[in-house]
Amino acid sequence: MLYYKRFNKIGKLLFIILVFTVCSPNNERISKDIPKEARGKMVKINKTEKEWKEELTKEEYHVLREKGTERAFTGKYHDNKEKGIYYCAACGNPLFKSDAKFDSGTGWPSYYEPISTENVETEKDRSFFMVRTEVHCAKCGGHLGHIFNDGPKPTGLRYCINSVSLKFKPE
């Protein structure tokens, strides 16, 4: 009788665990059937600074990893008017479409919006006695540039980006 009671308790417990497992949302199981791009979760790249130093050119490393800025009008894309997509020079994450590019006259490629707000991340930057909003690649953390509120319609934003941080592929 005692054994039966104990078994009954364990049986109930197992039954509850089974129901909980079946009914609870199992995101991992669901996400395997959905393409990576549609999951809405950016798969982050974590490399050491040594690895980045080996992969990137000196200039790329300075801008992307040390948050440097290329000199205005010296980059390869500030005047680029071709149709295509701008990717992160470090990890290949798509960042901006040529449709969102505009001539800001600043000497840096400028866009009024990213390809997706999930592909870029922002952070407060208090360097050089200014408070600016830094923008970086959501996938690898590579520094891209800054965002300002003086852009054109429809967003009113200006993503001021270093050419060095980008790789353009024409359509």
Q: Contact positions toward Fe ion, by CB under 5 A?
A: 88, 90-91, 93, 137, 139-140, 142
Nearest to 60 by CA among 169, 147, 142: 142
The letter for the amino acid at 69 is: T
Distance (Å, rounded) from C-alpha 7 to C-alpha 1? 10
Using the minimum distance from each CB to Fe ion, give the nearer residue, 113 or 152. 113
Q: Which is nearer to Fe ion, 90 or 157 (CB)?
A: 90
Q: Of these residues, 88, 137, 140, 160, which one is catalytic?
A: 160
What lies within 8 Å, CB to CB, of 171 at 6+ separation is: 83, 84, 85, 98
CA distance linking residue 133 with residue 146, whole number of Å = 5
Give the Cα separation of 23 and 114 in Å (integer): 38
Closest approach, Cβ 114 to Fe ion, in A, equals 12
Per-residue b or e along 37-61, where b marks 16 or more CB atoms closer than 10 Å to that residue's CB: eeeeebeebeeeeeebeeebeeebb
Is 160 annotated in the active site? yes
With respect to Fe ion, which residue has the nearer C-beta, 55 or 103?
Answer: 55
**Minimum Å distance from CB 47 to Fe ion?**
10
CB of 55 to Fe ion, least distance (A): 11
Task: Tell me how far, at minimum, the Cβ of 87 lies from Fe ion, in Å.
Answer: 8
Q: Which is nearer to Fe ion, 87 or 112 (CB)?
A: 87
Question: Which tokens belong to 137?
Answer: 């690649």
Gap between the Cα atoms of 115 and 95, Å rounded: 5
Active site residues: 160
